[in-house]
Amino acid sequence: MRIGQSIDIHPLKEGRDLILGGVKIPYEYGLDGHSDADVLVHTISECILGALALGDLGSHFPDTDPRYRGISSILLLEEVKKKMFRHQYRIGNIDATILAEKPKMAPYIEQMRINIANALECSTEAISIKATRGEKLGFVGRKEGIVAMSVCLLEENK
């Protein structure tokens, strides 16, 4: 067994789509970044890489590489899954939390779980996603950005 954890933060920006867990969420702002800036999928990808002791997401998919400009983070997660499989591991479980003042995440969480489980070739029962607000505190509460945190347990593929 291996355990990984990660946190990711992206600022909100006008004129961008808000993509979380591979779901396009209707909102007046989106997350700013080189790819689609899916902070949830980024943190899940990076916690898997961390569990495998393979470094961070940027070392595999640098924001200086034009190939990754605007790319779906779900595609990056699928590449991380391939690395995980090559190292003979599979998902035991993932527990992730989104911190966002707005919009409400509850209507989209089940589809996020499905998208992530499909990308990782695991059961949705292995994927937990929760959301909480900033309660008007800090940059999350002021609606300046969104944070996601995750932990994963990888099991050996025998």
Q: Tell me: is residue 35 an annotated ligand-binding position.
A: yes
CB atoms within 10 A of CB 82: 9
Q: Tell me: is residue 48 an annotated ligand-binding position.
A: no
- E strand segments, the chain: 2-14, 18-20, 23-25, 29-31, 89-99, 127-132, 145-156
Q: Tell me: is residue 38 an annotated ligand-binding position.
A: no
Q: Tell me: is residue 103 an annotated ligand-binding position.
A: yes
CB atoms within 10 A of CB 143: 17
Amino acid type, 147: V
Q: Tell me: is residue 87 an annotated ligand-binding position.
A: no
Q: Tell me: is residue 57 an annotated ligand-binding position.
A: yes
Q: Tell me: is residue 104 an annotated ligand-binding position.
A: yes
Q: Tell me: is residue 56 an annotated ligand-binding position.
A: yes
Q: Tell me: is residue 100 an annotated ligand-binding position.
A: yes
Q: How far, in Å, CA of 152 to CA of 158, rounded?
A: 18
Q: Tell me: is residue 105 an annotated ligand-binding position.
A: yes
Q: Tell me: is residue 36 an annotated ligand-binding position.
A: no
Q: Tell me: is residue 64 an annotated ligand-binding position.
A: yes
DSSP type of residue 34: S
Q: Tell me: is residue 63 an annotated ligand-binding position.
A: yes
Q: Tell me: is residue 34 an annotated ligand-binding position.
A: yes
Extract the annotated binding site: 8-10, 34-35, 42, 56-58, 61-65, 100-106, 139, 142
Extract the annotated binding site for a divalent metal cation: 8, 10, 42
